[in-house]
Structure 1
Amino acid sequence: MDQDTAKKLFNKGGFFILLGVPEGTEFGIDLKSWNTGEKFRGVKMIPPGLHYIFYSAVNNGDTAPRAGLFYYFHSAQVIVKKWNALNECISTDVVSNEEIVGLKDNIKALDNFLGLYPYDIWERWKQLSSHISDNLVKKLIPLNGEVRSALELEGCSNEERKNAHTNDESSTSKRLSRPSYNEFEDDILPELKPKEGTNLRFSVFPVKSYPDGSSPSDITKHSLDSTYLFEQLISSYDVETDILGEMEFCYICFLVGHSFEAFEQWKKIYDNFLSIIELQVKEIPEEFLADIVSNNNFVYVKLRNLFRFIKGCEVDDKLKSKADRLRKNLSDLYQWDFSHLESDDEDDAPVVVEL
């Protein structure tokens, strides 16, 4: 990086200052992490926009579960945090304005103690988080502001657990409050619920996949076609495209934050999306197919990219089976060959299967 570029980034980029963090702590931002050195005091030259800062305490070679925080950095913004040595985490205490101003005024003196934001991952990070707005983050993050890979649980009565299930239909509550497989398990397993303010606040899927007053045939139809359920979910957002933002948010919380709950929500959204795409593509009239092929093969290319992504992901068999079924149906219907999913050339024409 040349000096002029570095100077501009130093003046316009954000700063995350973390005081008192122990040497050897795992610390990261967006898609990269390090183990801190003795001089580490934070990160400088952070591009304006949304970022995810995460860490894991390390003690005698043991690494604690990962925790992270989303921040939306404005130009030249300075965020100051301190390490809580007792709880081995970033402190939630508010740093005084006087201390922040003092650090800002002497920011150049801290230069040698601040790590440079890893610009080699910036473009990838922007693509992964392009639909996540600051308002959406505030809606989805736990009330305590921190995403944790290990869900904090606390004891509760069976009645409290039932109430949690009734009031919160998120994947976390369902997983913790679902009926046990047998009475013996009910007797020996403790009653647990997420600690207040620590669970992710995902959008709630409608309890029913069909409208009120539906006939038996309509119920069957809506059970096969998730369009109604998906439309109900989208209507719960302030902005319809926030459903894409929530998918990205869940993926980041899983990929970087190691959150199983986020992965479960991502799968639910993706599963319904695949069901809708499968039904819609089947309804494309044959005369439109010619237009699809003549217009840079949009549907074929995007679906091939989707299948390639799912093939390379460590997702459960149910989601992969649904994608495989969609791929097979499209091959049977349009004689498209998706077998060469390793190709990255988006200008490839649909490969037609010879009958």
Structure 2
Amino acid sequence: MDSFSFLIVTGTPDNTEFGIDFLAINITEQFRGVKFIPQGPHFVYSSSKDHFGNPSTSRSGFLHYYKGGEILVKEWNAKNEELQDRTRGDVELEKQRIKENIKDLDRFLAMYEFENIGKWKSLTSLITEDAVQRLSPPCKIIRNSVEFKSCTDENRPRGKPEAPIRNVRIRSTDDEAMYLPKMEVIAETQPQYSKLPERYNQFSSPAEKTFNNIDTVNLIDKLFTEITTPSNLLEELQFCFIVYLCCLSIDSLAHWRQILSLLCNSEQAVEKYRTFYLQFINVIKHQLPEIPIEFIEQNSTNTIYLDIKNLLRNLIINGITEPSELLQKHLDDTISWTFEDLLEEDPEDLPQIVDLSS
């Protein structure tokens, strides 16, 4: 019993969608929480439904690192329609009373789903309690999209004052920006992800732009100097992928995609950070079979497939052949991706010969 944890929830309306990891249920008035939660990180989410059983709010939740024998208490916030920390009464005293009377609550608690525990542990193997604290939003509630502050009158778009509205023509993105509100993210609602370096900006030289498009090693070096350790980036890679899976967060999926692209497209970084890349391979091995179905198709427009192909090529060039072959086999078995002629140059990358005589 001491190796498992309990989640107690109060005040949740009937027919609310409730989930923990891969388990999703519509709760009834007798529902009081979940029992026998294994130690480690687990994502809890909820979503209100209308009278017809359709979601009326987007998912929101939290990632919590459960310790053995822990009792976590949450209550329903009717205004925001989401679970939040317990605010009523003496929480520690309440936990003690729950612990003493846990057998009486047993029939009101859903059993944690152990059928997919192996998959869940593979997807969260590097997420520590520190990582949960470091990457979660300051408000501790993770929503499927970041929130923005209301636009003040000062920031409302007005365009060029001298131009009559009926004669306005948007000729460039600069002109377009004048007619859009200046939106500001509410920082407390945003996961604390690393700021990833851009491949180039307005101050980049032509040589830097060209090199960064060919090999991202300089960007990876820059990122590794800004985070505590490279392993923190792998924790973040798992964290944002889990937030996407459980909370359907497009923002977190986009962040995962950016990290993947950065790490896959550097031959020099594979040589320089060999141990890191062996860990990286093991992380994405479990993630790729879980990506959205629209990214599964193997073709020349699937950028995830192309990035993985570049990664496999960079691994082979640097002599990391066996892990590359194992990853190829795993992806063939799980999502039917195959990779041929990895060391051949892509025709689009070959120099073009232009005949100037005609």
Q: Which amino acid aligns with 1:67?
A: S
Residues 112-154 of structure 1 deviation map (CA, whole Å, 9 limit, x = unaligned)? 0001111111111111001111112212111100110133222
RMSD (Å) for aligned C-alpha atoms: 4.2
Q: TM-score scaled by structure 1?
A: 0.71
Instruction: Report the Cα offset of residue 67 of structure 1.
Output: 0.4
Candidates 43, 48, 52, aligned match of 1:52: 43
What number of residue pairs does the alignment pair up? 303
Q: Which amino acid aligns with 1:263?
A: L
Q: Output aligned runs, 1:203-282, within 5 Å.
A: 203-207=194-198, 217=207, 220-276=210-266, 278=267
Question: CA, structure 1 residues 78+190, in 2 after alignment: closer, same or farther (shift >3 Å)?
Answer: same
Of the structure 1 ranges 93-102 and 16-25, higher mean CA displacement relative to structure 2 is found in 93-102
Which SS does the other structure have where 1:91 is aligned?
A: strand
Determine whether 1:68 maps to 2:61. yes
Instruction: Report the Cα offset of residue 185 of structure 1.
Output: 5.8
Candidates 101, 111, 121, aligned match of 2:106: 111
1:311–1:320 CA contact under 8 A, matched in 2 = no
Tell me the residue number matched to 1:3. Answer: none
Which SS does the other structure have where 1:103 is aligned?
A: helix
Determine whether 1:89 maps to 2:82. yes
Q: Which amino acid aligns with 1:77?
A: E
Instruction: Report the Cα offset of residue 351 of structure 1.
Output: 8.6
1:247–1:266 CA contact under 8 A, matched in 2 = yes
Which SS does the other structure have where 1:194 is aligned?
A: coil
Instruction: Report the Cα offset of residue 226 of structure 1.
Output: 0.9
Tell me the residue number matched to 1:100. Answer: 95
Residues 13-71 of structure 1 deviation map (CA, whole Å, 9 limit, x = unaligned)? 10000011111111111122111122100001111111111111123234110001111
Tell me the residue number matched to 1:133. Answer: 128
Q: TM-score scaled by structure 2?
A: 0.70
2:5–2:71 CA contact under 8 A, matched in 1 = yes
Q: Which amino acid aligns with 1:107?
A: I
Determine whether 1:123 maps to 2:89. no
Which SS does the other structure have where 2:257 is aligned?
A: helix
Residues 181-222 of structure 1 deviation map (CA, whole Å, 9 limit, x = unaligned)? 3624632x3332222411122101235769x9x986466434
Instruction: Report the Cα offset of residue 352 of structure 1.
Output: 8.6
Tell me the residue number matched to 1:146. Answer: 141
Which SS does the other structure have where 2:178 is aligned?
A: helix
Which SS does the other structure have where 1:132 is aligned?
A: coil
Residues 228-271 of structure 1 deviation map (CA, whole Å, 9 limit, x = unaligned)? 21122123332321111111111111111111111111011000
Structure 1: segments with no counterpart, 5+ residues: 1-9, 162-179, 285-297, 345-349
Tell me the residue number matched to 1:319. Answer: 304
2:217–2:269 CA contact under 8 A, matched in 1 = no
Q: Output aligned runs, 1:115-194, within 5 Å.
A: 115-156=110-151, 181=173, 183-184=175-176, 186-187=178-179, 189-194=180-185
CA distance in 2, matches of 1:190, 1:139: 31
Residues 313-350 of structure 1 deviation map (CA, whole Å, 9 limit, x = unaligned)? 54483333444566689999x9x997995336xxxxx9
User: Identical aligned pairs, as a percentage?
Assistant: 29
